[in-house]
Amino acid sequence: MNRRNFVALAPAALASANLALADESPRSRWPILAFSKHFQWTTVSEAASLCAEMGYDGIDLTLRPGGHVEPAQVAEALPKAVEAIHTQKLTTPMVTSGIVDATTPHTEAVMRALVAAKITRYRWGGFRYVEGKSIPAQLDELRPRIRDLAAMNKQFGLTAMYHTHSGATQVGASFWDLYLLLKDHSPNQVSVNYDIGHATVEGGLGDWLHTTRLLMPYTRGIAIKDFRWEQNAKKAWSPNWCALGDGMVDFKRFFVMAKAAGFTGPLQLHFEYPELGGADTGKKTSTVPKQQLITIFRRDLVKLKGILQEAGMA
């Protein structure tokens, strides 16, 4: 199909898709997932049981070195993990992988295992800038790597979602750079996992509005966290992650925009503030009692559901 015919058909296709979505429940369009990074202190089975009890819709499973599923053992470990999650009536629409590009070790094995498990989306990323080197030149160097990964995803019927971080060396922190890298590819193969917390860090006043509009057509997943600027012990200002609703992220306005743009996909709730005693960074142990962790996880989940209700997404 040539571009002219595609453009002509696109509105009809979108209308058809919207009619189909109208018959789906909000939770199937925007499932709320617990990020298993914050449950590395326990097994997948217990994490799934706890998340079901708290009211999550599913789990974003860590499938990366040090995660709940190690890439080297993916063929054997992923089916067991997925079964444990599904036993609790939770979904597994995505995983967080360690894939950077098509040459990352075990990439093909991971893709085959995802297909077998009927998981179509995975979080991908990790590109970084080299200071002092031309930005356009570095973007040109990244394009073949993205092209090759997109080709693999097309072969396996998978969608990679590039996770956006904040920070001086992070490719994607500026958001326009990610747009330039992805715009010539189908978002069905390479897309964005839009982190609204990091987006607000990088553009708190108004730029996050522009980046939302820019990248939402390419976004297939949304990561959720909140923060506020604070001074550290050295009096330097830095973003500090905090409980949902206690920070600077304008979630209601963001979700209204996401819904208006036709976004559908998993919402991953992140907990990266220090009250979690190590669970915030994915450590295998936590200094915080389990019941206290559960209270925190449930509190932010209830807050998120309230925000989605206000935005018409629940």
Task: Evaluate if residue 88 carries a pLDDT over 60.
Answer: yes
Calculate mean pLDDT across residues 273-277: 92
Side chain identity, residue 262: G
Q: What is the pLDDT of residue 102?
A: 98
Confidence at 20, pLDDT banded by 50, 70, 90:
very low
How many alpha carbons fall within 13 Å on the CB side of residue 189?
Answer: 19
Calculate mean pLDDT across residues 95-113: 98
Has residue 183 been placed in a domain? Answer: yes
The whole-angstrom separation of Cα 123 and Cα 121 is 7
Q: Is residue 23 part of a domain?
A: no
Rounded mean pLDDT of 76-85?
Answer: 98
The whole-number pLDDT of residue 158 equals 98
For residue 111, tell me if it sits in a domain: yes
Helix axes of 290-310 and 44-54: crossing angle, nearest 10 degrees:
50
| Residue 124: domain span | 29-310
Q: What is the pLDDT of residue 25?
A: 81
Residue 227 lies in a domain: yes
In a domain, residue 17? The reply is no
The pTM for the full model equals: 0.91
| Model confidence pLDDT, tens digit, residues 232-259 | 888 999 999 999 999 999 999 999 999 9
For the cut 50, the answer to whether the pLDDT of residue 7 exceeds it is: no
Residue 14: is its pLDDT beyond 90? no
pLDDT score recorded for residue 26: 80
Q: Does residue 275 sit within a domain? A: yes
Residue 56: pLDDT over 90: yes
pLDDT tens string 124-165 = 999 999 999 999 999 999 999 999 999 999 999 999 999 999
| Average of per-residue pLDDT across 286-303 | 96
- The answer to whether residue 10 sits within a structural domain is no
| Domain assignment present for 116 | yes
- 185-199 core/surface letters (b: 16 or more CB in 10 A; e: else): bebebbbbbbbbbbb
Tally the domains of the chain: 1
Q: Mean pLDDT score of the chain, rounded to an integer?
A: 92
Q: What is the CATH number of the domain that holds 105?
A: 3.20.20.150
Report the pLDDT value the prediction gives residue 13, as an integer from 0 to 100. 44
